[in-house]
Amino acid sequence: MILITGGAGFIGGNFVHHWFERQAAAGRVTDEKLVVFDKLTYAGNPNTIAAQLRDGRATLIQADIADREAVKAALQAHRPRAILHFAAESHVDRSIHGPAEFIHTNMVGTFSLLEEARAYWGSLTGADKDAFRFLHVSTDEVYGSLGENDPAFSETTAYAPNSPYSASKAGSDHLVRAYHHTYGFPTLTTNCSNNYGPYHFPEKLIPLMILNALEGKPLPVYGDGLNIRDWLYVRDHCEAICQVLDKGTLGETYNVGGINEIRNIDVVTTICRKLDELRPRADGSKYESLITYVKDRPGHDRRYAIDPTKIQRDIGWRPAETFESGINKTVRWYLENTAWIDTVRSGAYRDWIAQNYAERA
């Protein structure tokens, strides 16, 4: 049994798919189940893992990681061999509008989870205790922003978070580090770059651009559009997590990235051209005509880049997808999965879009 916090979100949900497909591909049939522990905030969607919930390979507990009694009860009932900690408030723009939830989940929630997980681990003995792992899923944003010619982030780059989101993730990383150093708690941490792929909530750049384009709405590019992100297909991230869980050294951190540095404006034009090919506009115009430059994100980090030498050398992980192959799969997925899209675009979603973009006009 493995317990996954945030398993109904974008990366956690993809991880649930990846976990079982990976085992099937290796010819392994296992009765090891996944327990998804998720509060089901606006970003959590059980439809993402409906098949696995239906056939019993996964179980869902709807609760807050900051609720220690709920965490304790889940650990005692399911006795996991590992905890994979994905749950977080994850959107930088929302953290600028309302940081409190980010402190609650990312810092207080991670602290509560660590405390209960440490108590549970302390109750284990022998091989079960030796095998237990707590894998903390974090972000490259904790390292701050790079200049044009700076070397990519490595595991020894000093932390310099710039947004309430990245500061709260940095805080959680420090707690995880301290629990290993002080208590010998068996932790692993991954710091990954920007993910994209299926089931991505359409508040983030790539799904927002795909869906706005299909509806003929403006494509809002912040600032000059020259900010750079390192893009990784989500299943490559999921595979990295599987491999770090299996082979990672306790107490270590691993940077995960695609060596795919792309300017935002180039991401958007790539999506537009893919849509021109797959779903040409009725009036014959190009999707690029919808691109609109809007007011910048406050404190907007200019560039992220990951040096993946450590995970490649020590774990043997490498991404399977290029940006070209990954964005092709992603755009096709959004064209084919309108039912999933309809379930996530609630009234609350529309309110957020109105609030975030009205003030950028």
Q: How many residues bind ligand DAU (CB under 6 A)?
A: 19
What contacts 313, CB < 8 A, 6 or more positions away?
none
Scanning the structure block, which residue is given the tokens 């439809």? 47
Interaction of residue 171 with ligand NAD, rule CB under 6 A: no
Count the site residues for ligand NAD by CB under 6 A.
30
Q: Which positions from 72 to 91 touch ligand DAU by CB under 6 A, shown as an x/- string?
A: ------------------xx
Which residue's Cβ lies closest to ligand DAU?
139
Q: Does 330 contact ligand DAU by CB under 6 A?
A: no
Figure out which of the listed residues 195, 253, 269, 270 binds ligand NAD, where binding follows CB under 6 A.
Answer: 195
Q: Indicate if 140 belongs to the active site.
A: yes
DSSP three-state, residue 253: strand
The count of other CB atoms within 10 Å of the CB of residue 314 is 14
From residue 290, give the alpha-carbon distance in Å to each of 95, 103, 220, 269, 333.
Answer: 27, 36, 9, 10, 21
Could you give the CA distance from residue 356 to residue 361 in angstroms, rounded to a whole number? 10
The bridge status of strand 228-233 relative to strand 194-196 is parallel
Q: Which of the listed partners (ligand NAD, ligand DAU, none) does 222 bind, with a CB threshold of 5 to 8 Å by partner kind?
A: ligand DAU
Question: Which of these ranges, 49-57, 60-68, 74-82, 242-250, lies near ligand NAD under the rule CB under 6 A?
Answer: 60-68
> Contacting ligand DAU (CB under 6 A), which of 36, 188, 208, 210?
208
Torsion-angle region of 291 (φ positive above 0: left; ψ -120 to 50: alpha; else: beta): beta
Distance separating alpha carbons of residues 14 and 181, to the nearest angstrom = 31
Q: Which does 220 bind (CB under 5 to 8 A by kind): ligand DAU, ligand NAD, none?
A: ligand DAU
Does 134 contact ligand NAD by CB under 6 A? no
Give CA separation, 107 vs 87, 104, 140, 165, 293, in Å. 11, 6, 17, 10, 34
Which is closer to ligand NAD, CB of 193 or CB of 269?
Answer: 193
At 310, list the tokens. Answer: 């450590």
Beta carbon of residue 290, minimum distance to ligand NAD (angstroms, whole number): 24
Write down the catalytic residue from 38, 64, 140, 203: 140
DSSP string spanning 221-239?
EETTS--EEEEEEHHHHHH
Contact 108, 66 (CB under 8 A): yes
Catalytic residue among 120, 143, 165, 254: 165
Q: Can residue 189 be called a binding residue for ligand DAU (CB under 6 A)?
A: no
Q: Is 334 a catalytic residue?
A: no
Site string for ligand NAD, 198-227 (x = CB under 6 A): ---x--------------------------
* Binding-site ranges for ligand DAU (CB under 6 A): 90-92, 139-141, 193-194, 204-205, 208, 220-222, 227, 229, 264, 297, 304
Just list the catalytic residues: 140-141, 165
